[in-house]
Homo-oligomer: A and B are copies of this chain.
């Protein structure tokens, strides 16, 4: 319930994203969007065309607002396992700030709620997972080079394990009340993976 209304398209999608993220697509009424963005129905329809289009615009907003700031370090050319650890920590800290149990991952949520019956949402989810996979592969390759391991490990397969774990982690953050549980799971997982890379 912002005091001021959104003054730009970017700010509008940001506020809409917050609604969709925490309540889901179906449970977010047009009325709730009008109230939370401070923008009139007229403004929303003129700017986006409808609820569905506004929802889709939120995907891109989520990438730049949430994913990139946290996951960017994993995609950096000098990223390694510690970058992945930092990524998880920043997301857990964020979830903690918002309050646990949290809203999880907007993309993963959309994947279960919308994607089964919507091709464009499905494509956006697939693209997001591909991004994660690329980033993890990058960091894992660096890590392996750094520690001088030479075994012919399938980094792609390992990256997939990270993608699966990541999806599961945000899924768990929707029911967990204690951020420490998430931290312990991450720590345990990462030290196992570290052992595997050696």
B184 and A108 within 8 A (CB): no
- The distance in angstroms between the C-alpha atoms of A192 and B165, with both chains bound, is 13
**Across-interface contacts of A24 in B (CB, < 8 A):** 112-113, 116
Among A157, A158, A168, A195: residue with most chain B CB under 10 A: A168
Assuming A164-B165, A167-B168, A193-B192, is B185 touching A115 (CB within 8 A)?
no
- The distance in angstroms between the C-alpha atoms of A111 and B192, with both chains bound, is 28
**Closest partner residue, chain B, to A122 (CB atom):** B175
B167 and A112 within 8 A (CB): no
Partner of A171, one of B23, B122, B171, B195: B171
The 3 closest A-B pairs by CB, nearest first: A168-B168, A167-B168, A164-B168
22 contacts between A and B (CB under 8 A): A24-B112, A103-B116, A108-B112, A109-B112, A111-B171, A112-B174, A115-B175, A122-B175, A126-B175, A129-B172, A129-B175, A158-B188, A160-B181, A160-B188, A161-B188, A163-B168, A164-B172, A165-B165, A166-B168, A168-B168, A192-B193, A195-B195
